[in-house]
Amino acid sequence: MGLNNIFKTMLILLCAFLFAIPSFAQKDKIEGVWLNEEGTGKVKIYKAKNGKFYGKIVWLKEPLRDGKPKLDIENPDEEKQKEPILGLLILKGFEKDGDDEYEDGTIYDPKNGKTYSCVITHNGDKLDVRGYIGFSWIGRTTVWTKTTFEE
């Protein structure tokens, strides 16, 4: 193998390594699967291409109602009442603010069909999820626990 071929091989390997670096990018600390406070559902939080964070229901303790998948029957939009709760996008549009806070997002509660403004605070293996209307100090906080996705 000539010096020219060795140089080309090293250049190809270097380029391959540089293109692989983004795939090793560290996930944000809220990305992953979280168990709600009641232990009835798990939500997977992920960062979308727009840089904002979203979360969808990936597990339900009781996914069926009358032998069929639970539907979003409390949704005020009649078309959405036909959508299953499992897979439902309930966290939308969160932006990171500092090290541990995520704001400017919304949380949808399929139990009552209402959407609330929301702030999420990361606290180790816990998330403080605060839904509110108007002012964040007028609301309710639930604590979610980091978990894995298991059926």
Half-sphere exposure of 73 (CA within 13 A, CB side): 6
Divide the 151 residues of the chain into consecutive groups of 10 and give the mean pLDDT of each group: 52 44 70 97 98 98 96 97 97 96 97 97 97 89 90 55
Taking a C-beta distance cutoff of 8 angstroms, is the pair 55, 47 a contact? no
119: domain range? Answer: 28-147
Domain count, the chain: 1
pLDDT of residue 20: 42
Q: Say how far residue 26 (Cα) sits from the centre of its chain.
A: 15
**What is the reported pLDDT for 134?**
87
Concatenating the DSSP letter of every residue in the chain gives --HHHHHHHHHHHHHHHHHHGGGGPPPPTT-EEEE-TTSSEEEEEEE-TTS-EEEEEEEESS-EETTEE-B-TT-SSGGGGGSBSTT-EEEEEEEEETTTEEEEEEEEETTTTEEEEEEEEEETTEEEEEEESSSTTSEEEEEEEEE----
In a domain, 13, yes or no: no
pLDDT on residue 142: 97
pLDDT at 26: 76
* CA gap 123, 89 in Å, rounded: 23
| Predicted pLDDT at 146 | 97
Residue 115 sits in a domain whose CATH number is 2.40.128.520
